[in-house]
């Protein structure tokens, strides 16, 4: 009886793995087929969106890893944060604030991208932020602009606090 149970269990696991592989292969084929029917504009949007999301990922990682240089460099050189007279004073303040933290946990969910004109993207998302001294969940918006071949954050807005 024990051997029969082991045989059935092993067989079910093998069948389950085969199904997963088959489903995954089907998904990859379907995705490739969908890509070939996309218009050049859709393919370009997809490629530019990947670039924007890579910058956003670098921004979030730098922030969470307390790396002020990577965080600040995600913003355009002329970005001025709310309440600051210049990019330099904003950047100095951000560096100082990051250096005071011991840890930051950051997660971004419900990410949505749109492009209103060439060289511009708006990304909205839910941000879950926790540090040693503060935590919140907010709906945010980052505006990105392509400047000299590089994507930068040009505006940042908090849309809602949850």
Q: What is the CATH number of the domain that holds 136?
A: 3.10.450.50
For residue range 8-30, list pLDDT tens digits in order.
333 333 333 333 333 332 223 33
Opening angle at CA 45, ends 40 and 50, nearest 5: 130
Q: What is the pTM of this model?
A: 0.76
Count of other CB atoms within 10 angstroms of residue 79: 19
Looking at residue 117, what is its pLDDT?
86
pLDDT under 50: residue ranges of the chain? 2-33
Looking at residue 35, what is its pLDDT?
54
**CA 59 to each of CA 15, 19, 33, 142, 162: distance values in angstroms, whole numbers, following the listed order:** 43, 38, 33, 11, 22
- Asked if residue 75 belongs to a domain, the reply is yes
Looking at residue 162, what is its pLDDT?
85
Q: Note whether 61 and 13 are same-domain residues.
A: no
Q: Note whether 86 and 21 are same-domain residues.
A: no
Which distant-in-sequence residues (6+ apart) come within 8 Å of 30 by Cβ? none
**Measured distance CA(62)–CA(64) in Å, rounded:** 6
Q: What range does the domain containing 8 cover?
A: 1-31
Q: Note whether 25 and 53 are same-domain residues.
A: no
Q: Note whether 18 and 57 are same-domain residues.
A: no
């Amino acid at each position: 009886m024990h051997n029969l149970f082991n045989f059935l269990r092993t067989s079910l696991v093998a069948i389950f793995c085969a199904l997963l592989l088959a489903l995954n292969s089907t998904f990859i084929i379907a995705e490739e087929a969908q890509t070939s029917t996309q218009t050049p504009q859709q393919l370009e949007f997809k490629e530019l969106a990947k670039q924007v999301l890579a910058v956003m990922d670098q921004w979030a990682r730098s922030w969470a890893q307390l790396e002020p240089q990577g965080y600040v460099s995600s913003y355009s050189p002329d970005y001025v944060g709310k309440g600051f007279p210049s990019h330099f004073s904003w950047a100095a303040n951000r560096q100082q604030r990051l250096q005071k933290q011991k840890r930051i946990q950051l997660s971004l969910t419900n990410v949505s991208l749109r492009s209103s004109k060439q060289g511009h993207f708006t990304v909205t998302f839910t941000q879950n932020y926790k540090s040693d001294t503060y935590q919140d969940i907010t709906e945010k918006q980052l505006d990105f602009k392509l400047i000299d071949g590089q994507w930068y954050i040009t505006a940042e807005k908090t849309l809602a606090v949850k």
